[in-house]
A and B are shown apart, each in its own frame.
Chain A
Amino acid sequence: MDVAHFETIQLLCGYRQNKTQITVPKSIINITIQKPTLVAVIGKNGTGKTTLLKTLAGLLKPLNGSILINNKQFSELSIKEKSYWISFLPSYNNKIPYIRLNEYIVLGRKHYEWNHKNEQDSLNDLLRKVSLESKAHLFLTQLSDGEMQRAAIARTLARQTPIMMFDEPLAHLDPKQQICILELFKNYTHNLNKIIIFSTHLTDLILSYAHKIWLITENEVIDKIPEQIIIDHDLENNELKIAIKPWQQKSSHFRGCVRLVGDGLAYTYTKYALHRFGINTLCNKIPAFSVIIMQVSNQSHRWLVKKENSIIREFNNLEKLIGYLIDIL
């Protein structure tokens, strides 16, 4: 089965609650995907990323409008038929007790078609792709949250449905694994002709991986390629990219003053740290103590405390230096 055409027409998602409708995302959604694509859904908390994914996956009934797969009404299919087309991974996956990782990946596989030639090979292959091959025989409860997340992703990929949806698949993952999973997704779209739609908050990272971005804002769903998003400053306009506050935080009053000698990164951040703890480095009169930063090797530094041309203490740790300075000043 291949998807040639995935389309939403006048789709309105949301919940019904005591006869009132709560629409999230707020706007009508008209989206068309015609070829294998990696789509990233981004947006602020509560704008409806999860609701949109669940509706597209057929887990929630749309409030209005329709979803078409190969020009067929998706909502008219039975739950079992839907499961042949779309798989969905929720953002939270509990670690089922007394189930091993290799059992979990193929759990319930009798129920849907497991269309791999050799079960054991494809299982090992999947585990290797999410770098969990050494943990195949562990119980899920023995995995960390990040490992469990990868296991759940592998389980969804194992189903090989034409369309796969992931709600926050990159949560709990370390930076290296985030990139691994994105590469894997890209691989599945390129080599296996899958449509993959996932939501995330890692807006900077996914710009260079996703083919398409769906940005959900308060009043519309922006559907653009990543380059267009950057050119149009959409992330900044929708508060998805926030400028980081500068490091320097000057203490309002200083307890004392030292002369700081050094250069480079070590100098800059020693200065910031001293300022943060109320020790000034820009003095009006000649200070009694001076701190000299010495580079010992490429990665290690030493801080020497000098009083009247003689070294009185030596530190290899900034925190201890500051503790000492606070005592003597």
Chain B
Amino acid sequence: MKHRIAILSFFLIGLILIDFSMGSTYIPFSDVFHFLIFKLDTQNEYYTILSQLRLPRVLSAIAASICLSISGLLMQNYFRNPLAGPYVLGISSGASLGVATFILSGNFLNNPLTEWFIHIGISGAAILGSMTFLLVIFFISLRLQNSVSVLIAGILLGTAANAIISFLQNISSGLQLQSFVYWNMGSLQNASSQTSFIILIVTIICLVVLLKFSSWLDLWLTGDEQAKSAGVSQKYYSLLTFSITSLLIGLSTAFYGPVAFVGLISPHVARMIFQTQIHKRFLIYTTLIGIFVMLIADIILQLFAFTNLPLNTVISLLSLPVLVYLFIKKKELWM
């Protein structure tokens, strides 16, 4: 198992370097090395590109993927269902609805408001949206007590949210519409280094909290009654998973748009490669796989930099074959 982590870490470092050097301008590895480890001369021709474009992008990729993969893991753990994930359960759509309401109904874009206000507004709306949807799904799950029905409810909620979003799009102005559509496609290039760094710190705090409570996640897998009899309170466990999931999904959706599928496939790939669900390790593995998937998606995106391909398109095309393969080849994956 140890050599798999070593190989994965090796690949991750390689992917980060490649991701730094890829883009509309190719930057040699030696310069990337200098930029990351030593101080690159500010007079260097690539310095501005690396610090203003590439660093925010790579940080965004890492922050977004950790947010998504951890929330995917939490949702799959909570519902004990391999299909659960922020995108499938409609939580991302909830965040989108929040952002859509903020961008499309208000008239903020024309106002001379500071960029920070808009940022805070968007992230607040996204967190509020994802939290509301998560709560609705949570209450539905209490009444239904059947994970398949909960998934159906999640998909229906997502569809309803999308319907309201298209209604809002219909009645909004061209400028608002444009900025919403770009946001909705998902992008790692809008957030600044500072924003991504803050999100990264928040995700790492969440990860540490989850590692502290990893035995709750383990025990939860044994079933409601066994978990309760072992001393895990459903109330506190739900509070933990739901607050962290809505915070992470809200943050990542606000700044990187509703990024699809990373949350769903990272735990699956981690399970398959590392063959464990002991959460002390599984949380870390899932996070690493999440970063891996996101970096590959971003590198592919950079290969087609000239076409302005949306991030979601690449991730969907990349993950669908993986998901289909997992569900066909690894039937014992969950049940």
Name A90's contact: one of B219, B223, B278 (CB within 8 Å).
Answer: B223
Min Cβ gap A205→B in Å is 25
CB–CB A108/B225 < 8 A: no
CB–CB B215/A57 < 8 A: no
A residues near B221, Cβ cutoff 8 Å:
96, 99, 107
CB–CB B332/A107 < 8 A: no
Q: Which of A63-71, A75-83, A269-277 contacts B (4 or more CB under 8 A)?
A: A75-83
| Interface hub of B231, B271, B275, B332 (most chain A Cβ within 10 A) | B231
Min Cβ gap A58→B in Å is 8
| Interface hub of B216, B233, B278 (most chain A Cβ within 10 A) | B278
Query: Does B334 have its Cβ within 8 Å of any Cβ on chain A?
Result: yes
Q: Which of A55-103 contact B (CB under 8 A)?
A: 57-59, 78-80, 82-84, 86-90, 92-94, 96-100, 103
Name B223's contact: one of A84, A94, A110 (CB within 8 Å).
Answer: A94
CB–CB A59/B229 < 8 A: yes
| Interface hub of A80, A83, A94, A98 (most chain B Cβ within 10 A) | A98
Count: A-B pairs, CB below 8 Å: 80
CB–CB B277/A96 < 8 A: yes
Query: Does A203 have its Cβ within 8 Å of any Cβ on chain B?
Result: no
A89-B226 in contact given A79-B233, A107-B218, A107-B219 (Cβ < 8 Å): yes
Instruction: Count contacts on B: residues with CB < 8 A to the other chain.
Output: 24
Q: How far is the CA of A111 from the CA of B233 in the complex (A)?
A: 12
Name B334's contact: one of A57, A97, A100, A108 (CB within 8 Å).
Answer: A97
B residues near A107, Cβ cutoff 8 Å:
218-219, 221-222, 278
The interface size bin for chain A is 20 to 34
CB–CB B215/A98 < 8 A: no
CB–CB A108/B332 < 8 A: no
In the complex, residue of chain B having the shortest beta-carbon distance to the beta carbon of A86? B229
A residues near B225, Cβ cutoff 8 Å:
54, 59, 88, 90
Query: Does B34 have its Cβ within 8 Å of any Cβ on chain A?
Result: no
CB–CB A82/B231 < 8 A: yes
CB–CB B230/A112 < 8 A: yes
CB–CB B226/A90 < 8 A: yes
Q: What 0/1 readout, one digit per residue, does chain B (93-134) give for beta carbons within 8 Å of chain A?
A: 000000000000000000000000000000000000000000
CB–CB A83/B231 < 8 A: yes
A108-B230 in contact given A93-B223, A97-B335, A98-B271 (Cβ < 8 Å): yes
CB–CB B229/A141 < 8 A: no
Q: How far is the CA of A112 from the CA of B227 in the complex (A)?
A: 11
CB–CB A79/B226 < 8 A: no
A141-B332 in contact given A90-B225, A98-B277, A111-B215 (Cβ < 8 Å): yes
Min Cβ gap A49→B in Å is 15
A residues near B228, Cβ cutoff 8 Å:
59, 79
Q: How far is the CA of A93 from the CA of B215 in the complex (A)?
A: 18
Query: Does B13 have its Cβ within 8 Å of any Cβ on chain A?
Result: no
Q: How far is the CA of A109 from the CA of B232 in the complex (A)?
A: 12
Q: How far is the CA of A94 from the CA of B219 in the complex (A)?
A: 12
CB–CB A108/B215 < 8 A: yes
In the complex, residue of chain B having the shortest beta-carbon distance to the beta carbon of A141? B332
Q: What 0/1 readout, one digit per residue, does chain B (266-282) give for beta carbons within 8 Å of chain A?
A: 00000100011110000
Could you jot down 8 A-B contacts, CB within 8 Å?
A54-B225, A59-B225, A59-B229, A79-B232, A93-B222, A98-B275, A109-B215, A141-B332
Contacts A89-B226, A96-B222 given; 14 further ones with Cβ under 8 A? A57-B229, A58-B229, A79-B231, A88-B229, A98-B277, A99-B221, A99-B277, A100-B276, A103-B278, A107-B222, A108-B218, A111-B232, A112-B230, A139-B275
User: Which B residues lie at the A interface, using CB under 8 A?
Assistant: 215-216, 218-219, 221-223, 225-226, 228-233, 271, 275-278, 332-335
